[in-house]
Chain A
Amino acid sequence: MVKKYITLPISEQELVELKAGELVFLSGTLYTARDAAHKRITEALENNQKTPFELKDSAIYYTGPAPAKEGEIIGVCGPTSSSRMDEYTPKLLEMGVKIMIGKGNRSQYVIESMKKNKAVYLCAVGGAAAIIKKYIKSAEVIAYEDLGTEAVRKLDVENFPLIVCIDSKGNSLFRR
Chain B
Amino acid sequence: MKIIHSDQILSAVKELIFCCVVNVENQACELLRQIQEDNEPAKWALDQIIENIDFAKQNNLPPCQDTGLAVFFLEVGQDVHITGGYIEDILNEAVRQSYTQNYFRKSTLDPLTRVNYNDNAPAIINTRIVKGDKLSIHFLAKGAGSENMGALYLLTPSKGRQGIIDSVVDCVQKAGANPCPPIIIGVGVGGDMEKACIMAKYALTRPTGTPSKDEDVKQLEKEILQAVNNLGIGVQGFGGKNTAISVAVEKFATHIGMLPVAVNIQCYSARHGKIVL
Contacts and interface: CB of A to CB of B under 8 A. Distances in A.
A77 B40 contact: no
B85 to A, nearest CB: 27
A168 interface: no
B105 interface: yes
B17 to A, nearest CB: 14
A143 to B, nearest CB: 16
Contacts of A23: 44
Interface string B195-217: 00000000000000000000000
Interface stretch (B2-10, B185-193, B235-243, B249-257): B235-243
Interface string A126-140: 111111010000000
Contact of B65 (A21, A78, A81, A147): A78
B48 A80 contact: no
Given A81-B148, A147-B116, A148-B106, A126 B267 contact: yes
Interface string B89-125: 0000000000000011111000000101010000000
A18 to B, nearest CB: 14
Contacts of A65: 65, 105
Contact of A105 (B61, B103, B104, B176): B176
A93 interface: no
A148 B118 contact: yes
Given A64-B105, A66-B104, A76 B65 contact: yes
Contact of A174 (B63, B144, B176): B176
A77 B65 contact: yes
Interface stretch (B52-60, B72-80, B152-160, B162-170): B52-60
B65 A63 contact: yes
Nearest to A133: B61
B232 A175 contact: yes
Interface string B23-45: 00000000000000000110011
Interface of B: 40-41, 44-45, 48-49, 51-52, 55-56, 59, 61-67, 103-107, 114, 116, 118, 144-145, 148, 176-178, 180, 232-234, 236-239, 267-269
